[in-house]
């Protein structure tokens, strides 16, 4: 059983390919920055003391010698972008290693200290508050699915808006032969709507659970398999891109695309530097066609390179060094993946800021260690990464009325495309104001839903903000409504997969390939201005 909101929809279409709403489109595609060649080299197992990211300019061998001389142990090296993961129990390690000529920069990789009790979910803003949910309207009565669509298709206004339907874009392309990487908190590959499309062999988990940050480890060694998602965010994103056209639950934008799980996000929702860069480099080396990135690299919402970019607020030398390292490594990793043919799509953020304005306000950084954030106003040259890397297609969010969602960042020349992200407060002054159906429905891990209180112990939704679908064989899947630019970005990633299938060239592996610059151009030209 499920509920359906009937109401106004905007349908935006073009000939041949799916369309998304666009702002003024400026897609820049500069040549990729040079990066050292090489492979990801595992050096050691286990971590003693603090964990650091170190960038280097020479050979991995020279970098390893310099790191060891400074009191560090190399855990792994990503030679493609000159990056090492290092552990050290020496309190002077950062000062010592930065003084070495072979080293470009160094900073701590993740949180120092313990997450405070009751710390909010990293993606809490993507779900209406308890008060809002209680005041919201009903999602309306039961409504059967259309004969030619997935059973819950009538709940997916977002797919109707962009024409991702059997009678629309899917007559031309479904994403078959296109590989889409999801850099996120993971993908629940057991979900019935995702299982047919997940490539387990090429999926990777780059994270290690940190009990002080993520809660108790689910497996011995704290390294989860690459087919689980203990947060839920990545599974929701993956369903938007490529929930299978299998007569079950919902459908994705590209229902026959292949999903590759590139887990760089912790259970807590943090995306630490080393894991993020390693996932981007792997995406390039694995030959993926598209990558979706609905996150920013912690702990800084905006990464500055100098004190001159701070207009209000304070910053230490150590904090500036960390921001510079994030800029250097993420920009290099994005350029590396782009140079190897990966179309990169990212969410613009949920701060309701004009990213084209001269200044940016930030009261959330740094977001770890806990309770260290302080307000600052910075220049717009301080970058949200990876979203503001020049090779990334930046996406803002609209609601079901096609109006920009109130939370969504925007900015001509900074954001290229707008797509359905959901907006709970859309249709103000009408019965459709604050109804669950204004958000985006997608797949969600059942165990996470139970842990978060979205479902009871039997797996049944506790309110109309979630849906359970069961087929005649008793197979069930859980779905929930979320809103955010995190939900908008995977719509564009899915469209990119359709474009690559439709316009791309055959590969030796029976897939399709298309240059990222061409994909971006087709997206820009086919979108409604």
Please, are residues 181 and 262 in contact by the beta-carbon 8 Å criterion? yes
Residues 290 and 228 in one domain: yes
Q: How confident is the model at residue 429 (pLDDT cuts 50, 70, 90)?
A: very high
Q: 42-46, 59-63, 133-137, 296-300: lowest mean pLDDT where?
A: 42-46
Q: Which of 486, 489, 491, 526 is flagged as catalytic?
A: 486
Tell me which residue range forms the domain holding 167: 149-526
pLDDT at 117: 52
Q: What is the pLDDT of residues 246-303, one digit of tens each?
A: 999 999 999 999 999 999 999 999 999 999 999 999 999 999 999 999 999 999 999 9
Determine, yes or no, domain membership for 11: no
Overall domain count for the chain: 2
Residue 53 belongs to a domain with what CATH number?
A: 3.30.70
Q: Using a pLDDT cut of 90, give the percent of the chain over it.
A: 80
Determine, yes or no, domain membership for 336: yes
Residues 381 and 515 in one domain: yes
pLDDT at 119: 53
Judge whether 148 counts as a catalytic residue. Answer: no
pLDDT at 49: 80
pLDDT at 14: 30
Residue 140 confidence (pLDDT) above 60:
no
Residues 222 and 73 in one domain: no
Angle at which helix 317-339 crosses helix 273-285, to 10 degrees, equals 10
User: Phi then psi for 238, rounded to 5 degrees?
Assistant: -60, -40
Mean pLDDT to the nearest integer, 118-127: 69
For residue 14, give both structure tokens: 């073009």
Closest CA to 416 of 464, 346, 504: 346
Please, are residues 253 and 442 in contact by the beta-carbon 8 Å criterion? no
Choose between 175 and 22: higher pLDDT. Answer: 175
Q: Which residues contact 21 (CB under 8 A, 6 or more apart)?
A: 12, 161, 398, 402, 417, 418, 419, 527, 528
pLDDT at 370: 82
Residues 155 and 93 in one domain: no
Q: What is the pLDDT of residues 90-105, one digit of tens each?
A: 999 999 999 999 999 9
Q: DSSP alpha helices (H): ranges in 360-484?
A: 446-451
Exposure class string for 34-51: b at 16+ Cβ within 10 A, else e: ebbeeeeeeeeeeeeebb
Residues 194 and 336 in one domain: yes
Q: How confident is the model at residue 137 (pLDDT cuts 50, 70, 90)?
A: low
Residue 144 confidence (pLDDT) above 50:
no
Residues 60 and 193 in one domain: no
Residues 250 and 376 in one domain: yes
Closest CA to 517 of 500, 529, 492, 502: 500
Choose between 11 and 281: higher pLDDT. Answer: 281
Residue 328 confidence (pLDDT) above 70:
yes
Q: How confident is the model at residue 47 (pLDDT cuts 50, 70, 90)?
A: very low
Q: What is the pLDDT of residues 402-421, one digit of tens each?
A: 999 999 999 999 999 999 99
Mean pLDDT to the nearest integer, 137-166: 77
Judge whether 233 counts as a catalytic residue. Answer: yes
For 511, other C-beta atoms within 10 Å of its C-beta total 18
Residues 367 and 465 in one domain: yes
Q: How confident is the model at residue 153 (pLDDT cuts 50, 70, 90)?
A: very high
Q: What is the pLDDT of residues 369-415, one digit of tens each?
A: 888 999 999 999 999 999 999 999 999 999 999 999 999 999 999 99
**59, 85, 108 - which closes a domain:** 108
Residues 44 and 158 in one domain: no
Q: Does a cis peptide bond (omega within 30 degrees of 0) precede residue 392?
A: no
Q: What is the pLDDT of residues 220-251, one digit of tens each?
A: 999 999 999 999 999 999 999 999 999 999 99
Determine, yes or no, domain membership for 505: yes
**53, 75, 108 - which closes a domain:** 108
Task: Tell me what the pLDDT averaged over the chain comes to.
Answer: 88
Residues 101 and 227 in one domain: no
pLDDT at 127: 85
Residues 56 and 193 in one domain: no
Please, are residues 233 and 184 in contact by the beta-carbon 8 Å criterion? yes
Residues 444 and 501 in one domain: yes
Q: How confident is the model at residue 136 (pLDDT cuts 50, 70, 90)?
A: low
Choose between 26 and 176: higher pLDDT. Answer: 176
Residue 32 confidence (pLDDT) above 70:
no
Q: DSSP alpha helices (H): ranges in 340-463?
A: 446-451
Closest CA to 312 of 378, 259, 262: 378
Mean pLDDT to the nearest integer, 118-139: 68
**108, 135, 164 - which closes a domain:** 108
pLDDT at 116: 59
Q: Which residues contact 216 (CB under 8 A, 6 or more apart)?
A: none
- Return the bridge partners of 478, or none: 468
Judge whether 121 counts as a catalytic residue. Answer: no
Determine, yes or no, domain membership for 212: yes
Residue 16 confidence (pLDDT) above 90:
no
Q: How confident is the model at residue 125 (pLDDT cuts 50, 70, 90)?
A: confident
Closest CA to 182 of 118, 242, 244: 242
Q: Using a pLDDT cut of 70, give the percent of the chain over it.
A: 86
Determine, yes or no, domain membership for 17: no
Residue 164 belongs to a domain with what CATH number?
A: 3.40.50.200
Q: How confident is the model at residue 368 (pLDDT cuts 50, 70, 90)?
A: confident
For residue 56, give both structure tokens: 């280097």
pLDDT at 128: 85
pLDDT at 129: 79
Q: Which of 233, 236, 338, 491 is flagged as catalytic?
A: 233
Determine, yes or no, domain membership for 129: no
Q: What is the pLDDT of residues 169-210, one digit of tens each?
A: 999 999 999 999 999 999 999 999 999 999 999 999 999 999
Q: Which of 3, 87, 88, 184 is flagged as catalytic?
A: 184
Q: How confident is the model at residue 123 (pLDDT cuts 50, 70, 90)?
A: confident
Residue 329 confidence (pLDDT) above 80:
yes
């Amino acid at each position: 059983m499920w509920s359906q909101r009937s109401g106004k929809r905007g349908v935006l279409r073009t000939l041949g390919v799916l369309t998304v709403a666009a702002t003024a489109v400026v897609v820049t595609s500069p040549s990729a920055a040079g990066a050292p060649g090489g492979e990801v080299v595992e050096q050691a197992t286990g971590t003693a003391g603090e964990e650091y990211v170190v960038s280097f300019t020479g050979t991995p061998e020279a970098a390893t010698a310099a790191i060891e001389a400074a009191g560090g142990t190399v855990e792994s090296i990503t030679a493609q972008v000159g990056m090492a993961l290092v552990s050290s129990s020496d309190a002077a390690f950062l000062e010592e290693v930065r003084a070495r000529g072979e080293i470009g920069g160094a900073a701590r990789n993740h949180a120092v200290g313990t997450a405070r009790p009751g710390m909010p979910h990293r993606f809490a803003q993507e779900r209406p508050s308890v008060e809002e949910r209680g005041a919201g309207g009903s999602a309306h009565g039961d409504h059967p699915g259309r004969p030619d669509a997935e059973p819950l298709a009538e709940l997916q206004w977002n797919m109707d808006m962009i024409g991702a339907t059997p009678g629309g874009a899917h007559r031309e392309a479904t994403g078959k032969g296109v590989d889409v990487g999801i850099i996120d908190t993971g993908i629940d590959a057991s979900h019935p709507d995702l299982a047919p499309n997940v490539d387990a062999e090429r999926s990777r988990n780059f994270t290690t659970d940190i009990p002080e940050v993520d809660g108790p480890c689910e497996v011995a060694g704290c390294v989860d398999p690459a087919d689980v998602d203990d947060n839920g965010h990545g599974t929701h994103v993956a369903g938007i891109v490529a929930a299978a056209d299998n007569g079950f639950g919902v459908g994705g934008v590209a229902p026959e695309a292949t999903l590759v799980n590139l887990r760089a996000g912790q259970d807590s929702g943090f995306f630490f530097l080393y894991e993020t860069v390693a996932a981007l480099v792997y995406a390039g080396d694995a030959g993926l066609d598209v990558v979706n990135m609905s996150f920013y690299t912690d702990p800084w919402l905006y990464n500055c390179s100098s004190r001159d970019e701070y207009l209000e607020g304070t910053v230490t030398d150590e904090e500036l060094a960390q921001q510079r390292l994030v800029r250097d490594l993420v920009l290099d990793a994005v350029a590396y993946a782009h140079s190897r043919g990966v179309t990169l799509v990212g969410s613009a953020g949920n701060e309701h800021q004009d990213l084209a304005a001269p200044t940016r306000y930030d009261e959330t950084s740094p977001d770890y260690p806990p309770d260290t954030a302080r307000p600052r106003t910075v220049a717009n040259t301080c970058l949200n990464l990876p979203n503001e890397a020049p090779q990334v297609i930046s996406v803002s969010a609209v609601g079901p009325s096609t109006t920009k969602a109130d939370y969504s960042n925007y900015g001509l020349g900074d954001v290229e495309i707008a797509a359905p992200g959901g907006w709970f407060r859309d249709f103000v002054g009408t019965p459709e104001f604050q109804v669950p159906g204004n958000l985006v429905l997608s797949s969600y891990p059942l165990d996470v839903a139970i842990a978060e209180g979205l479902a009871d112990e039997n797996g049944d939704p506790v309110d109309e903000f979630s849906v359970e679908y069961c087929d005649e064989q008793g197979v069930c899947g859980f779905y929930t409504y979320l809103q955010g630019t995190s939900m908008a970005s995977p719509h564009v990633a899915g469209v990119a997969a359709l474009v690559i299938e439709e316009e791309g060239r055959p590969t030796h592996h029976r897939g399709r390939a298309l240059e990222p610059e061409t994909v971006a151009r087709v997206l820009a030209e086919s979108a409604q201005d």
